[in-house]
């Protein structure tokens, strides 16, 4: 990597229907247009054999024990580690739509599962330079088009997912009010991402979950229906 700056690792997270995929795509387009070479990944990545099983699970073709499902999602991220690392090393920015934080927030929202157990299987994956958390109450998300077709799109479940996310907030996170228009949110994200991409140093990425989550980042959780 001598003489060449590594790429940044940036993750977009949030409950279902918060606009992650739209924003992640717009970000990569913007970065590429402004000469910052970037690629977009999305987890779960269903093009692999593991991803195909996850796809079947999400669409309710099959069912598994919740712990097995959790490990499948995690394995799907691990199988893309070499790809992520090779882009970062070449100086390409990697923008990921969902990552280990989805893994923990969704799985730990299930009965009998907890945050600590769920964190273990992603332990050692690269820690992102920046996590953009698109925040919207599930009640607001429910009003958006297409909500309610997938396995996890149930308001009560999404409430627990959101609470879990808010417990993971750390000093590399930015919490964004996703109730605003696509363009308004995009503008906020671009500013944060450009700052991160342009200030990436030559240090290796850290790994999950070595840095302790700072307690002072705990946030007030909006109650259902509150805007």
- 94 - beta bridge partners? 9, 39
130 is written with which tokens?
């920046």
Least distance in angstroms from the C-beta of 67 to ligand DGP: 10
**Toward ligand DGP, which CB reaches closer, 98 or 160?**
98
Least distance in angstroms from the C-beta of 202 to ligand DGP: 30
Least distance in angstroms from the C-beta of 91 to ligand DGP: 27
d(CA 49, CA 17): 26
Residues making contact with ligand DGP (CB under 6 A):
16, 43-44, 58, 69-70, 73, 98, 102-103, 106-107, 150, 152
**Toward ligand DGP, which CB reaches closer, 3 or 146?**
146
b/e map of 156-171 (b: 16 or more CB within 10 Å)? ebbbbbbebbbebbee
93 backbone dihedrals φ, ψ, rounded to 5°: -75, 135
Least distance in angstroms from the C-beta of 115 to ligand DGP: 13
**Toward ligand DGP, which CB reaches closer, 80 or 91?**
80
**Toward ligand DGP, which CB reaches closer, 60 or 220?**
60
d(CA 161, CA 152): 10
Q: Are 147 and 153 in contact (CB under 8 A)?
A: yes
79 is written with which tokens?
């199988």
**Toward ligand DGP, which CB reaches closer, 71 or 197?**
71
CA nearest 178: which of 7, 17, 1, 4?
17
- 177 - beta bridge partners? 135
11 is written with which tokens?
């993750």
**Toward ligand DGP, which CB reaches closer, 98 or 119?**
98
- The sign of the CA dihedral 159, 165, 222, 24 is negative
H/E element holding 133? strand 130-135
Least distance in angstroms from the C-beta of 138 to ligand DGP: 12
Least distance in angstroms from the C-beta of 5 to ligand DGP: 30
Least distance in angstroms from the C-beta of 93 to ligand DGP: 20
**Toward ligand DGP, which CB reaches closer, 101 or 173?**
101
């Amino acid at each position: 990597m001598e003489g060449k700056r590594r790429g940044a690792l940036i993750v977009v997270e949030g409950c279902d229907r918060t606009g992650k995929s739209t924003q992640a795509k717009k970000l990569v387009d913007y970065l590429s247009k402004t000469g910052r070479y970037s690629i977009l990944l999305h987890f779960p990545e269903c093009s692999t054999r593991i991803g195909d099983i996850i796809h079947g699970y999400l669409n309710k073709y099959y069912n598994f024990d919740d712990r097995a499902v959790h490990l499948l999602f995690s394995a799907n991220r691990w199988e893309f580690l070499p790809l992520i690392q090779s882009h970062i090393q070449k100086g390409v920015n990697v923008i990921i739509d969902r990552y280990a934080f989805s893994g923990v927030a969704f799985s730990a929202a299930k009965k009998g599962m907890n945050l600590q157990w769920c964190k273990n299987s992603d332990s050692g994956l690269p820690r992102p330079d920046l996590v953009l958390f698109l925040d919207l109450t599930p009640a607001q998300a429910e009003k958006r088009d297409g909500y309610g077709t997938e396995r996890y799109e149930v308001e009560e479940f999404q409430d627990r997912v959101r609470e879990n996310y808010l417990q993971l907030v750390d000093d590399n996170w930015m919490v964004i009010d996703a109730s605003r228009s696509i363009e308004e949110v995009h503008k906020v994200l671009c500013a944060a991402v450009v700052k991160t991409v342009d200030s990436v140093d030559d240090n290796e990425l850290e790994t999950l979950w070595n840095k302790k989550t700072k307690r002072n980042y705990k946030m007030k959780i909006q109650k259902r229906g509150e805007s």
